[in-house]
């Protein structure tokens, strides 16, 4: 069974540009999560989709971040316009059912904003 995949693995953009990150969850997993880790800090939650609906977006830092999951399969996270402090590693995770259960993480996208 394929794991969570993320694309690209690394992105370098200039301040003010737009970047779109993609996550493909494990097949059949209705729950999809975005997290990020900025330098020297803990991994922090951004938001949670159940199928195509946003269940919890309490961790989204500001309105420059837009997450979508059209059709309830893959998800995209767009940062527009990017700022220097957005640099970090963005992880996606997926989980099978509701309630408890393990979240499985992807390899992450390393975003560098210069």
Does residue number 25 form part of the binding site for another protein (CB under 8 A)? Answer: no
Pick the binder of another protein from 55, 73, 80, 114 (CB under 8 A).
55
DSSP code at position 17:
-
Place of tokens 């975005």: 34
37, 109 in Cβ contact below 8 A? no
Pick the binder of another protein from 7, 20, 30, 45 (CB under 8 A).
45
The residues that touch another protein, with contacts defined as CB under 8 A, are: 4, 6, 31, 33, 35, 41-45, 48, 55-56, 58-59, 91, 93, 95, 99-100, 102-108
């Amino acid at each position: 069974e394929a794991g969570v995949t993320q694309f690209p693995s690394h992105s370098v953009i200039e301040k003010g540009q737009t970047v779109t990150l993609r996550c493909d969850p494990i097949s059949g997993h209705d729950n999809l999560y975005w997290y990020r880790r900025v330098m020297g800090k803990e991994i922090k939650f951004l938001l949670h989709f159940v199928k195509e609906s946003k269940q919890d977006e309490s961790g989204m830092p500001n309105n420059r971040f837009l997450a979508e999951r059209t059709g309830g399969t893959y998800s995209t996270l767009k940062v527009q316009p990017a700022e220097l402090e957005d640099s970090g590693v963005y992880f996606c995770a997926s989980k099978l059912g509701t309630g408890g259960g393990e979240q499985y993480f992807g390899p992450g996208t390393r975003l560098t904003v210069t």
